[in-house]
Amino acid sequence: MGAGSNPPNGDYRSIGIPKFSHSTQRSTYPTSTPTSASSVALRSMGAKSQFLRDMRKRLSADQMEVQRRAHLFVARNTTLPAMVRHRAQLALNSLNNGEGRLGAVKNRCVETGRGRGVISKFGLCRFQFRLKALDGELPGVHKASW
């Protein structure tokens, strides 16, 4: 590899950096969310489009995770030459512009599409969580009494 060339597709194995074998992403919520527009039963079309946009962002962030982590590893490795680290940082900066950013992902209620007050473990907003808990639809959840 020449002094002025980038590694092809962010592959740093040629300079001694191991390839990641698994994704180290943060856990996605909820585990069984529908991804097609027909299977999402939200109250309004606006909520449905927001939910689908969020799902698309999650998928994009998931696909870019390994590449982003590889660039980050190289950019922060102080044993590598400064030029290699700089190129990795530039590649990392170009990855952060699209929907693949981890910060672009917003937890939304899978029932209503609400973006605030979401209990991430269940993927429901606080009001839907309360309704489902009172109806007994959430296993292991019951009203506290003491």
- The tens digit of pLDDT for each residue in 90-111 reads 888 887 666 556 666 778 888 8
User: Which amino acid would we find at residue 42?
Assistant: L
Joined together, the tokens standing for residue 80 give 């590598």
CATH architecture of the domain 107-146 equals Irregular (4.10)
pLDDT at site 86: 93
- CA 62 and chain centroid, separation: 5
Whether the per-residue pLDDT at 112 is higher than 60: the answer is yes
The model's pTM is 0.49
Instruction: Summarize the confidence of residues 110-123 as an average pLDDT.
Output: 85
> When comparing pLDDT for 88 and 29, which is higher?
88
Q: Where are the domains of the chain?
A: 40-105, 107-146
Instruction: Summarize the confidence of residues 118-136 as an average pLDDT.
Output: 89
Could you identify the residue written with the tokens 């962010």? 10
CA distance 76 to 117: 35
- CA 84 and chain centroid, separation: 27
Report the Cα–Cα distance between both ends of the chain, in Å, rounded.
69
Number of other CB atoms surrounding residue 99 within 10 Å: 15
